[in-house]
Structure formats: structure tokens, C-alpha cells
Amino acid sequence: MRNLLTVALVGSVLFGVGCAADALDTTEGPADGGDGKSDGSFNVKWNKDVEHIVPKNVHNYLEKYQWGDYHIVFHMSRKWFMLGDAGRGWLSRVGEASAELQEGDPNNGIEFLTMHRAMIQHLTERWGSEPTPNNEDGRATFGEALVGWTTDDEVVAHLEKAGGDVAGFKKMLVNINDFSKFTTEDEFGTFVQTALRLTGEVDPNDSAIRAYTRDTTVGAGVHNWLHGQFQDASSPINVGDPQTNLSNMRFWGIHGWIEAKWQQFEQAHTRTPMEMFAYQESMERFLLHMQLHSDYSTTHHAVNRPSRALAKTMGPIVFDNGAACDNLADGVTMDDCTP
């Protein structure tokens, strides 16, 4: 396993600091991301007036054990070939390599699903009874908030509230809810996560060169799309910012819906022995990661931390269902980018 423990959206999304900047407990830091070291300060200071923020005890737990830093490194290292020189340069300098499975690769779909399920399970066990008096859906505890938006209608209602593309989401549901379209659990996970697809094209002179295309099926990459729909540049816990969005209850709304949709798929699909092995191995791996980054562990496992300045530029890339051609690593090809 790569050095992870030391450690999507159709179109573009704009992010930035906004009127809630007074809740920030840090400077933006160096534009190149810095040296990856954390001084123990929080990326964001808890403030009851920040809309959709998780309970103070939960927020401080996420910050203390660097869940946000873990989360952004998880996604950055899986968009290595589309991250741009700044992102790849920072990862390289702090000793992070590209993840073995990249977004859109075979077997990355189950990795995406299990990592977020492990987060939900850990936080439910640790903080499920924590009161959430500010939850917009009237969920009384954080455990209830972690269940998220369990129905398509709940997502529609929140999209309407946020001024999102309700009609577009409803069109996506036709394919998302047709589980017969997916031969494997990994295919389902990949479809939900991203529109990126690694092609089978191989350069005869260099088999390491990657070629990507986009799945243009309506609904592909709904996860990345939803992060774009609910992003709010004025919030210090922007749903579109993978370093800070774990403290936003709307993040758990989105991932609760994905979890519920996965559970529906599990009811309709019988895992093969190989799928069961992949699922169990991946769940065990990510549950361990969550435990190591918690008060269950007697040893603190530091995660490389990008500066807020760099992290904010990574959001639009991490949650993009494609890639800016200028951000592609040398030798990587995308179907709509001229070599």
C-alpha cells in the first residue's frame, strides 16, 4: 500500500473564501502547499453561526485527528494524472505518491464506496448520540444526520432549496436506479463516483502512459456533480472543499444518499466470491485507517496537510468529472484534449 497513512462535477466549479471567513482559524498558507506538516492548529475553528456545521465535539474530533487532511489527500492522490503541476508537486515534495488505483480505474469504485462507508460507521459508533440542534432536516442526533438523505425525493428537496438542477438530477435517476446496467459492484461504484474512465488503449512504446475518456451516460459521476451543486464558496466548510467539507452536514446528506443507493444495489446484486473478498479487504483497510486517526489509537498518525491556499484550488479538480487539459501529466491523454 502506498504512503497514504502519512497522510467529478460536470463542468467547472468556483470556490473561494467568503463572508464566513471570520470563522477561519488559520492563514491561507503558502500557495505551493507548504511542507505538509501540521502544527496542531485547526483548518477551521468551530462557530455555531456557520450554517450546516456539525456539532462542536464532532468538528473538533475531525480537526484533531486530521480527517479533512486525510480526505483531501485521499482524493488528490487518486486524481494524480489530472491534478496539475501544483498538486502533483506538493504530493511529491511531502512523500506522497500517486495512489495505485486512480479515479476511474477498475476497482476504484469499490474503494470509493468502502472508504466513505468506513467513515460513516466509525463516526456513528463514536459520535452517533451527539445532539444536532441545528440540523436543517430536524435530525436530533449526529447518528441520524449521518444516515443522510436516504431517498431520491430528499435529494430533490435539497436541490430545490439550494437552487440546484432538479431536472438534471431526475434525468440521472433513470440510469442510477437501473441496477441491471451494472455487472459488478465496482462498476456501480465507479458510475456513481465519476465519469472518468481509463481506456484499454496502450502505447506500444510505453505501457505506463494512460489514456482516459469520459462516460457520457446521463448520471455518470453523480457524486462529483452533487458536490458541485451544493458547493458554497462563502462557507468555511464548503461542500466543494475536500479539506473542510466533512464538517458540513450536507456532505453527510450526499454520502448518506450514496450509501442508501448502494444498500439498494446490494439487495439487488449477489456478490461473487471475488467481489466479497474485495469488499471485505477494502472495508477492513479503511476501518483501520479511521481507527488510526481517532482516539481509539494510542499513537497519533499524522497526515500530510496542504495549506488552505493550495487546498482551495484542489476542490474544483477533485470534484471534476473530467480534467483541464493543461493539468494533465506528461504523456496522459484525454479524449477531448489535443496531444
pLDDT tens track for 28-69? 899 999 999 988 899 999 999 999 999 999 999 999 999 999
Cell of 115: 472508504
Q: CA-CA distance, 162 to 51, in Å (whole number)?
A: 13
Q: What pLDDT is stored for residue 77 in this prediction?
A: 97
Query: Which residue numbers in the chain have pLDDT < 50?
Result: 1-26
Q: What pLDDT is stored for residue 204 in this prediction?
A: 67
Run of H or E including 146: helix 142-147
Pairing status of strand 196-198 against strand 211-214: antiparallel
Q: Give per-residue pLDDT as tens, 82-100.
A: 999 999 999 999 999 899 9
* 113, 273, 312 from 261: Cα distances, Å: 11, 22, 29
Q: What pLDDT is stored for residue 339 in this prediction?
A: 63
CB-based contact 320:314 (threshold 8 Å) = no
Q: What pLDDT is stored for residue 24 in this prediction?
A: 35
Q: What pLDDT is stored for residue 171 in this prediction?
A: 98
Q: What pLDDT is stored for residue 97 in this prediction?
A: 84
Query: What are the residue boundaries of the structural domains of the chain, listed by start?
Result: 19-334
* β-sheet bridge partners, residue 211: 333
CB-based contact 305:41 (threshold 8 Å) = no
